[in-house]
Amino acid sequence: MNNIRTFEDMTPVIAEDTWVDETAVVIGDVKIGSGSSIWPHVVIRGDIHQIRIGKRSSIQDGSVVHVTHDSQFVPSGFSTTVGDDVTVGHNVTLHGCEVKNRCLIGMGSIVLDGAIVEPQVIIGAGSLVPGGKTLESGYLYMGAPVKQIRKLTEKEIAFFEYSAQNYQKLGQRYRAQ
């Protein structure tokens, strides 16, 4: 069975140097940028709205990326956007949200419809970002619902680039197998 699937004439567009594990499923109106990596058992389902994932971003094992359709209840719906150099931890759900550049979304976190995660944000493991909430750049957030905990350190800010490069390299090692 093909893990990169067309849905209603919408076929995923995946950069040639992006690694997608054979157990991951990518469906529909999805674009994934150069150097990104999609790990085992990830589902990226752009069937009822678009999903855009930037360059050098990593979607870790078991994560789900989905959207909300246009309806009388949610006019225009919600697409999902993941910027460049984003690390999405294991078993994360991103649903109809925007995660901007250089973020880390901790394992098991959930980011809901209309939420905006500004650049350079860390969301601690197991956190819940409610729909419509904006997380301000430069902070650590944790909890369910998330609360702003503290400003990020210089070391944490430097980690965004390190993590993105690390997963880009690891993805290339998998591609070479």
Domain residue ranges of the chain, discontinuous segments joined by +? 4-176
Q: Which residues of 130-145 are buried (b: 16+ CB within 10 A; e: fewer)?
A: eeebebeebbbbbeee
Q: What single DSSP character describes residue 70?
A: -
Predicted TM-score (pTM) of this structure: 0.96
Half-sphere exposure of 173 (CA within 13 A, CB side): 7
Provide the pLDDT confidence category of residue 2 given band limits of 50, 70 and 90: confident
Provide the pLDDT confidence category of residue 1 given band limits of 50, 70 and 90: low
Cβ neighbours for 176, distance < 8 A, ≥ 6 positions apart: none
Say how many residues make up the chain.
177
Q: For 129-168, what is each residue's pLDDT tens digit?
A: 999 999 999 999 999 999 999 999 999 999 999 999 999 9
Q: Is the pLDDT of residue 58 over 70?
A: yes
Architecture of domain 4-176: 3 Solenoid (2.160)
Rounded to the nearest integer, the mean pLDDT of the chain is: 97
Helices and strands: H and E segment counts in the chain:
1, 20
Three state DSSP letters for 81-117: EECCCCEECCCCEEECCEECCCCEECCCCEECCCCEE
Average pLDDT over residues 38-65: 98
**pLDDT > 90: what percent of the chain?**
97
